[in-house]
A and B are shown apart, each in its own frame.
Chain A
Amino acid sequence: MDIFVQQLVNGLTLGAVYAVVALGYTMVYGIIQLINFAHGEVVMIGAMVAFTVIRRLADAGLPPVLVVLIGTACAVPVCMAVGYAMERLAYRPLRRAPRLAPLITAIGVSIVLQHLAMLIWSRNVLAFPQIIPAVSFTIAGASVTGVQIAILGVCFAMMAALALLVYRTRLGRAMRATAQNPQVAALMGVDVNRVIATTFVIGAALAAVAGVLYGTYYGVVQYTFGSLLGLKAFAAAVLGGIGNIPGAMLGGLLLGIVEALGAGYIGDFSDLCSYGLGPAERCADGGHFVLFGSNYQDVFAFLVLILVLVFRPSGILGERVGDRA
């Protein structure tokens, strides 16, 4: 039981990253009913740009936190530009097309971005320079590193800032209006094109920060990591209710925790020997016969997605998509 808290901490950290990425998915879906499959690649590009900058500055003798901040500050505009370009070039022309066209385009954009990154940063696994001193605290028997605390702090801050933006500012009101009904919003004086572009850009900025956090947390990045992360974040967004901003946050955290706990305990639960069901020669004197090992970790996210879609398709907090009469 003493490792339960540790698994929980790991899960929360992972979940916070999923939550931030899920926000990008959910905002875009809420506004234009498009699942932006290329969002995961934007995360990856953010991480890669930050990696390049941090690697250049690693020996410059600046304080490590400052180096990471500069890396992030460089990654965010690049990702915002990528997000804007995606919207302008790939999705805006298809605004009136049948729903399948932008979906396929999104997959295409994802492939293009992935391969662009492969050309620029090579196919190798890139190691984030280990400049942040590893400090860890022991809280309730769990080892929590400084990076984990930073991730939780930054993610919650960003979620709070986004909630503030969407519910308390004029831009946020315009976004909510466009999400409810773009034609009427336009009649009310909202520049729909600009609002949609801004949504993409904000989502991309969040993705950039998430990418930097991911790179700092795991220490390695590769041009392919965006796709799996993106899919899991999408599952998180659906879990919480697609189009629903608090839903995305909740979904992300929940998914992270489910994944960490699942991977940690599935081995114990699926050990047939502990139920007396395993083959005799494997279970003899304390042997184990594990059906599903911890290598099924990635499966949990998608298992959750399937279960959610079967039993509660609108997600935990309910879908929030405007009616398009």
Chain B
Amino acid sequence: MTNARLALTLLAASIALIGCGEDKKPEAKQAPVAQEKKAPPPPQTIEIKIGHVAPLTGGNAHLGKDNENGARLALEEANAAKVTIEGKQANFVLVPEDDQEDPKVGTTVAQKLVDAKVAGVVGHLNSGTSIPASPIYSQAGIPVISGSATNPKLTEQGFKTQFRVVGRDDQQGPAIASYLAEQKKPKLVAVVDDASAYGEGIANEVEKTLKAANVKVLPREKGTNKTVDWKAILTKLKGRNPDAVFYGGMTSTAGPMLKQGRELGVKAVFLFGDGACEGEMAKLAGEAAEGFLCSQAGIPPMASDKKFLDSFKKKFGEDPKQYSPFTYDAANLLIEAMKKANSADPVKYLPELAKINFKGATGQIAFDDKGDRKDAEITISVMKGGKLEPVAVVKAGKTIAFDDFVKGAGAAPAVAPAAEPAKAEEKKDEPKK
């Protein structure tokens, strides 16, 4: 008797736990767009599903959530604006998926979205999951726009459905490497990566550019995208005494690396790519974060359109972390293309998307024939006093000091406080050691 009762209790408990453990997709604080169906639809409505993929669990979940928020905001604004597609009122529904930064899960999730017959996809966040997923979307003919994947291979595969609204690592890598070579004039540079598609890709670009500039580069050190203990590698580097260390990887591993590097007494200046170019680095590395340089494959989030920043802050209670202005634009691009083609059918709106010219929160967007953003900007920033301050923007091969860029590009009014451009100018002048 007692055994059976025990078994039943355990069964009930485990079911409860499973129920608790699963991701609750409709967030409590936002009225899920799907439930809007209860409101009496004036004419007919057409439900248009847009998928979004990013790591919602794991070390960079905060960035994944940020991306999702950007896409969500775009869809909610479109719903509020009562867009008409195919003569019916469009009801955009976000289908968020978690790819856990894992290529295997990325392809599974992509297939899931294809089977759910989404009209378009915003994502993925990581190049490492975007690249294997792209053939799946291409085969199904579903357009996918990434707001953050920077590995060049993504758009080199020849898929007509793959786009991105950020720059590429073969622009970003050379940008930050040239900045380093010109500004700091290092004699010896160490390059480390996290063995992911993104990290290795950008590290390779940086190494190539540095070698072309006749800077000596140490043999590559590698971690993983989950490494927390960098002491062994950093100790080894300390022995070689480089002037600069470039790390290709994401915040969750870059933060500890920076912190441990300073603890061990590594005196080099640290540089990172866009994967670690965000405020969270200050939290993870503490004082050690002071003075590191990083590049972003687009304009810095706080320099995006003010209207977007205000709506974002109002809805989510925090500033955009990194790529949400780009996912916001990506989602809006999909919607805009659908409006132009007056159809949610990928076959019909894909050509419109390919030739679109659209002013988003991150500036004017148009795609080239590979699906890359034309004339994407690369921003170089430095961490000062816990905040990232842009110092330069590289656009179409030219390096512009940030405050000049802000004055020149009237399209994106700088939200940066007046003190920032002044500081940026001051920094540009003083030779840093």
A residues 232-257 touching B (CB-CB < 8 Å): none
- Binary B-proximity of A18-37 (CB < 8 A = 1, otherwise 0): 00000000000000000000
Residue of A nearest to B262 (CB): A134
Most A CB within 10 A of own CB, among B195, B232, B239, B256: B232
Selected interface stretch from A68-76, A121-129, A158-166, A169-177: A121-129
- Binary A-proximity of B258-298 (CB < 8 A = 1, otherwise 0): 01101111000000000000000001111100000000000
Given contacts A3-B238, A294-B221, A295-B222, contact A260 B259 (CB under 8 A): no
What residues of A have a CB within 8 angstroms of the CB of B255 in the complex? Answer: 125, 127, 219-220
What residues of A have a CB within 8 angstroms of the CB of B224 in the complex? Answer: 295, 298
- Contact between A264 and B284, CB atoms less than 8 A apart: no
- Contact between B61 and A267, CB atoms less than 8 A apart: no
What residues of A have a CB within 8 angstroms of the CB of B229 in the complex? Answer: 14, 218, 297
Taking residues whose C-beta sits less than 8 angstroms from the other chain, chain B's interface range is 35 or more
What's the least CB distance linking B236 to chain A, in Å?
5
- Contact between B236 and A125, CB atoms less than 8 A apart: no
Given contacts A6-B235, A143-B264, A295-B195, contact A288 B283 (CB under 8 A): no
- Contact between A267 and B286, CB atoms less than 8 A apart: no
- Contact between B21 and A220, CB atoms less than 8 A apart: no
What's the least CB distance linking A230 to chain B, in Å?
15
Most B CB within 10 A of own CB, among A115, A127, A262: A127
A residues 278-325 touching B (CB-CB < 8 Å): 288, 290, 293-295, 297-298
What residues of A have a CB within 8 angstroms of the CB of B56 in the complex? Answer: 123
Q: In the bound complex, what is the Cα–Cα distance between A122 and B65 (angstroms)?
A: 12
**CB of A222 closer than 8 Å to a CB of B:** yes
What residues of A have a CB within 8 angstroms of the CB of B286 in the complex? Answer: 130, 219
**CB of A112 closer than 8 Å to a CB of B:** yes
Contact of B227 among A222, A265, A297 (CB under 8 A): A297
- Binary A-proximity of B168-196 (CB < 8 A = 1, otherwise 0): 00000000000000000000000000110
**CB of B355 closer than 8 Å to a CB of A:** no
Contact of A3 among B21, B58, B235 (CB under 8 A): B235
Q: In the bound complex, what is the Cα–Cα distance between A123 and B284 (angstroms)?
A: 15
- Contact between A6 and B62, CB atoms less than 8 A apart: no
Contact of B233 among A134, A138, A263, A298 (CB under 8 A): A263
Given contacts A6-B238, A6-B264, A219-B259, contact A293 B232 (CB under 8 A): no
- Contact between A295 and B227, CB atoms less than 8 A apart: yes
**CB of B219 closer than 8 Å to a CB of A:** yes
A residues 58-109 touching B (CB-CB < 8 Å): none
- Contact between B219 and A267, CB atoms less than 8 A apart: yes
**CB of B423 closer than 8 Å to a CB of A:** no
What residues of A have a CB within 8 angstroms of the CB of B263 in the complex? Answer: 134, 136, 143, 145
B residues 212-244 touching A (CB-CB < 8 Å): 219-224, 227-229, 231-233, 235-236, 238-239
**CB of B57 closer than 8 Å to a CB of A:** yes
What residues of A have a CB within 8 angstroms of the CB of B285 in the complex? Answer: 219
What residues of B have a CB within 8 angstroms of the CB of A14 in the complex? Answer: 229, 231
- Contact between B264 and A297, CB atoms less than 8 A apart: no
Contact of A222 among B59, B223, B264 (CB under 8 A): B59
**CB of A10 closer than 8 Å to a CB of B:** yes
What residues of A have a CB within 8 angstroms of the CB of B232 in the complex? Answer: 7, 10, 259-260, 262-264, 294, 297
What residues of B have a CB within 8 angstroms of the CB of A3 in the complex? Answer: 235-236, 238-239
Given contacts A134-B287, A145-B263, A294-B222, contact A218 B228 (CB under 8 A): yes
- Contact between A2 and B259, CB atoms less than 8 A apart: no
- Contact between A290 and B219, CB atoms less than 8 A apart: yes
What residues of A have a CB within 8 angstroms of the CB of B220 in the complex? Answer: 288, 290, 293
A-B contact pairs, 20 of them (CB 8 A): A3-B238, A115-B17, A123-B56, A123-B61, A124-B59, A127-B283, A134-B287, A218-B229, A218-B260, A219-B255, A219-B256, A222-B59, A222-B252, A264-B235, A267-B236, A288-B220, A293-B220, A293-B222, A295-B194, A297-B232
Given A14-B229, A119-B21, 10 new contacts (CB under 8 A): A6-B264, A10-B231, A124-B59, A134-B262, A136-B265, A218-B229, A219-B286, A220-B256, A293-B222, A295-B224
